A and B are shown apart, each in its own frame.
Chain A
Amino acid sequence: MSGHSHEHSDNVAPFLLGALSDLEAQAFERHLMSCSACHEELEWLRPAAESLPRSVSPLEPPASIKGDLMETVRQEAGQAPVAPRRPWRERLPSQVRMRPAMALASAAALLAAGGLIADAVTQSPGNDSGRTVAAKTDSKRVPAASGSLIVPQGEGEGAVLRVHGMPALGSDKTYQVWLARGNERIPQSLFNVSGDGEGSGAVSDRLKGADAVLVTREPAGGGSRPSEKPVVRVPLDGS
């Protein structure tokens, strides 16, 4: 492949390697939809990127992984309640935690009766360079969902919303991120979720003065105003 060159073509390899920021990756994904040259190069280089994990010498995993895993699978297949294993993030006290609201969701759903429920974590320091604000999710329309907004330090350059456990949408629909200021709804970005329900959407406008970041399900291509009540809402202080 001879390779092509324009302002986006340099991002093909970093995109495949996961070396773009969330905002850059989203912008590149949008570009891919309309640039056949980048798309072609992406598919041409993909086998090389996908070979990288195969360079790792295979090791024998501890037997406990399979044992715990199959026990959970058997319980889930039998519709029995499952006690999730505590992730290593929670077992290491020095680590920053960012847990989804799975444990809280079922209890809160009883109280919320279809309304928006709070995530288990309300707010925490995201890392050295910002903070994390937990999302509220609709317990009826996206029952397994959780999410959080990662706000860079200074809060002047937008933010990234990460979601988990969101239902995948058909090709005719997309998730759309909005910034709410009073009654105004300002469109931000579109995103879809991966096979395991994870995804992220960019908030490119300044958060200052905003009341919330919202997510709705819209027709492919997005809309200029929300067509439904949000399925995810991240409350902001509006300051």
Chain B
Amino acid sequence: MTLLQDANQDAFEALYDRHGGAAFSLAYRIVGNKAAAEDISQEAFLSIWRSRDRYRSERGSVRTWVLGIVHHRAIDGLRRNLVHDRRRASAEGIEERHEAKELTDVEVLRRDEAKQVREALDSLPDEQCHVLELAYFGGFSHSQIAEMLEAPIGTIKGRMRLGLQKMRHQLVEDVA
């Protein structure tokens, strides 16, 4: 990151090589549209390049910083462009079209990590998993989710809290 903050293009390219796949995947997961996901990824990385001196390691990893920017832009795009009613390709379908054939060691680790987090998500009660996905990947507010699920807002907030608590226990405390 020090090299990147000195406007080193090779360092930026390395950053993209390391996190570009995850960024595109997250954008695709959220907007469900290949062209939009490409633009969001590109805009996010340009934003990272232009604000490279604002990364602070004490606030989290580079990956968390990158994915946070991508998430913010993707959800912003969703909310501005009213594409909540998009038809999202299934995860399996996406993988068939874009999955890399040869996996590096890093990619294998990333897939293992994704599998571990998905298992933690899947282990939640359905109603908790559902609200986490609607909020984080769908960009819906708590009040929109409450209306969709015909449940009180307090119930929705409670499910979000319980869901994150259980995720935390599974992903952090079980490992420790």
Q: Tell me how far the C-beta of B38 lies from the nearest C-beta in chain A, rounded to whole angstroms.
A: 5
Quick check: is A19 within 8 A (CB to CB) of the other chain?
Answer: yes
Q: Is the CB–CB distance between A20 and B141 below 8 Å? A: yes
> A14 to B157, Cβ gap below 8 A?
yes
Contact present for B142 and A57 (CB under 8 Å): no
Interface of B is mostly: helix
**What sequence of 0s and 1s flags, for each residue 40-62 of chain B, a beta carbon within 8 Å of any chain A beta carbon?**
11110111111100110000100
A56 touches B172 (CB 8 A): no
Q: Answer whether A58 and B39 are a contact pair too, CB < 8 Å, given A48-B164, A73-B9.
A: no
Residues of B within 8 A of A57 (CB): 25, 91, 94-95, 99, 111, 114
Q: Closest residue to B162 on the A side, CB-wise? A: A13
A55 touches B121 (CB 8 A): yes
Question: Does A11 make an interface contact (CB < 8 A)?
Answer: yes
CA distance in complex: A69, B114 (Å): 26
Interface centre among A19, A64, A65, A87 (most CB of B within 10 A): A19
Given contacts A20-B141, A59-B98, A65-B38, contact A87 B43 (CB under 8 A): yes
- Number of chain A residues whose Cβ lies closer than 8 Å to a Cβ of chain B: 59
A69-B45, A96-B81 as given contacts; A196 in contact with B50, CB under 8 Å = yes
Q: Residue B22 at the A interface, CB < 8 A?
A: yes
A50 within 8 Å of B (CB atoms) = yes
Check if B38 sits within 8 Å of A56, measured CB to CB. no
Q: Nearest chain-B residue to A25 (Cβ)?
A: B141
A128–B9 Cα distance when bound, in Å, is: 42
Tell me, in angstroms, the Cα distance from A19 to B132 when the chains sit together: 9
B contact residues, total (Cβ < 8 Å)? 86
Residues of chain A with a CB closer than 8 A to B114's CB:
54-58
Q: Which of A16, A59, A64, A197 contacts B28 (CB 8 A)?
A: A59
A17 & B136 in contact (Cβ 8 Å cutoff): yes
Most interface-central of B7, B21, B26, B160 (chain A CB within 10 A): B160
Q: Are A88 and B35 in contact (CB under 8 A)?
A: yes
> B98 CB to closest chain A CB, in angstroms?
4
For B104-124 the 0/1 string (1 means CB < 8 A from A) is 000100110110011011000
**Interface check A47, CB cutoff 8 A:** yes
Instruction: Digitize A51-68: 1 where CB-to-B-CB distance is under 8 Å, 0 elsewhere.
Output: 111111111111011101
A90 → B minimal CB distance (Å): 10
- Tell whether B126 is near chain A: CB-to-CB under 8 Å: no
Residue positions of B touching A, CB distance < 8 A: 7, 9, 12-13, 16-17, 20-26, 28-29, 33-36, 38-43, 45-51, 54-55, 60, 64-65, 67-72, 75, 77, 80-83, 91, 94-95, 98-100, 107, 110-111, 113-114, 117-118, 120-121, 132, 135-137, 139-143, 145, 154, 157-158, 160-161, 163-165, 167-168, 171-172
Could you show 8 A-B contacts with beta carbons less than 8 Å apart? A12-B161, A19-B142, A56-B29, A73-B46, A88-B35, A92-B81, A95-B83, A196-B69
Closest 7 CB pairs of A and B: A61-B24, A195-B54, A48-B167, A13-B160, A55-B117, A19-B135, A17-B135
